[in-house]
Each structure stands twice: as C-alpha cells, then as structure tokens.
Chains A and B, each alone.
Chain A
Amino acid sequence: MQLEYFQLIDRILDLNIDEKTIQVEAQVPQHNTIFEGHFPGYPIMPGVLLIESMAQTSGWLLLALMKFERMPFLAAVKEAKMRGFVSPGELLTINANVLHEGSGYAMTEAKVSVGGKLKCNATITFSHIPFPNPDLRRHMDAMAKRVGFPQQAIAHD
C-alpha cells in the first residue's frame, strides 16, 4: 500500500472473469503520517481509505471485464458500513463482485476483511469511459504488472 500515491492495492490474489469476482490484498503500513492525526494515541485506518480500497479493487475487476479498453471512475458509494477498526500493519483482504453492468456505468459490491473478520462493505457505482489518453492507459498497464494483474486479461492495441 503506497498511501502517498493513493495506490492502495498490493496484489491481485484471484480474478475470475466468468464469475466477475476479484480478491486482492493490501498491507496497511505500520507507520504513516496519516496515523499521526487519525488519531493521536489511537491510530486507525480512515474509513474513506477503506472505501477507496474497495473502489480500487472493484476498478481492477471492471478493467478486466472491459479488457482495459475503458477506465472506470468512482461515481457513488452506497451503504458503506465501517464494521470494525483497522490498525496499522494489518493485512486487508478485499473482495468485490459485479452487481450490474449498465451502459457506461457499473455497480459492484465490495468488502474488506482482516483475518477473516469483516471490517467494512459497500455498494459502489462507477461511470466508465474510453481511456482519455495513452498516458493513463500506459500508467494502468504498468500498475497492472505491479499488482500481478493476469496479463492475458489485458487487450493490447
């Protein structure tokens, strides 16, 4: 997890195109300035970052389903529930599945667990558009390699 770059996902553990599901893991850093303020003497992972981790997980799934031809962007978060604290150094397991694939948008369900214990979940809506420029596509290709995205799922020009 590279919080400074807003890169929350470390590794894709499983990506099932047929079932439209994904599982990833993300290691919460032991030390980060975020924890100095959130909260002094009682560091916990901010809920908004847990939501972002579910959005990024869902994003990888949608990228796969759209064969890297379109880029999903976060549009709405519903029913986000923070069910337990996440502490520095904990390993997140994040699962997502597709709830609906519409025209230009998609909805997913996602959840974060630590050691098998559910920490949060949400229903997330994305709008998606063709990659707006080659730079972003190249960046996402590089990111995909970093997180172990199955390369056969990436369509190349």
Chain B
Amino acid sequence: MSSTFDQVATIIAETCDIPRDTITPESHAIDDLGIDSLDFLDIAFAIDKAFGIKLPLEKWTQEVNDGKATTEQYFVLKNLSARIDELVAAKGAGA
C-alpha cells in the first residue's frame, strides 16, 4: 500500500500535470509547485474522494490569514500528508 505522500504526489502530478519526480515531501504546493487556489480545489476534491475525508480548507485559510498558522504547516506536502493521516484517523475513531 502506497504512503499518503505517494498518493498525494500522484494526485498532484495527474491533476496539475506536474512531473511526478519533481514532487517531494519537502515541496510546498504553492511556492514550489506553483499550484494556485483554483487548481488546489481539484486536488482537494481528489484527496477528499481518495481518503474519504473533507480537507478543512476554509479553516486552514482562515488560520493563515489570521496569522495563527503558516502556509508551510498545511501546504508542504509532508505536512499535508500528516494532516490527511490525522483526518483519516479522526474519521476512523468517530465511526
């Protein structure tokens, strides 16, 4: 079974037509990969579907706008993958 990062990287590669081998756990989706907010909706959609979760994009965006979080916390892919794992675990615990 592939890791969460591998799945996310594959989704990003396929959704945004970015070469898979340029996507690393340290990549920042916005700053390094150049993914804009509209393209990220497609990625969020694919992640939501693949993992059966709902990425809290609004909450994250609000936290960044309010200075309570940095974009790195949510959009560096190793961190994004960790958030996804947390959401999947929370969903499993709540089931």
Task: Assess the A107–B45 pair: CB atoms within 8 A.
Answer: yes
Interface of A is mostly: strand
Interface residues of A in 98-121 (CB under 8 A from B): 100-105, 107
The yes or no answer to B55 lying at the interface (CB within 8 A) is yes
Pair B48/A104 contact, Cβ less than 8 Å: no
- Of residues 24 through 66 on chain B, the ones whose CB sits less than 8 Å from some CB of chain A are 38, 41-42, 44-45, 48-49, 54-59, 61
Q: Is the CB of B49 within 8 A of A105?
A: no
Q: What does DSSP make chain B's interface, helix, strand, loop or mixed?
A: helix
- Is A100 a contact partner of B57 (Cβ separation < 8 A)? no
- Give the complex CA separation of A103 and B54 in angstroms: 7
In whole angstroms, how far apart are the Cα atoms of A101 and B54 in the complex?
Answer: 8
Q: How many residues of A contact B (CB 8 A)?
A: 11
Q: Which of B38, B42, B49, B57 contacts A103 (CB 8 A)?
A: B57
Task: Please give, as numbers and ranges, the residues of chain A lying within 8 Å of B44 by CB-CB distance.
Answer: 102-103, 105
Q: Which residues of A come within 8 Å of B, CB atoms?
A: 75-76, 100-105, 107, 125, 127
Besides A100-B45, A103-B44, A104-B58, 14 more A-B contacts (Cβ < 8 Å) are A76-B38, A76-B41, A100-B49, A102-B41, A102-B44, A102-B55, A102-B57, A103-B57, A104-B57, A105-B41, A105-B57, A125-B41, A125-B42, A127-B41
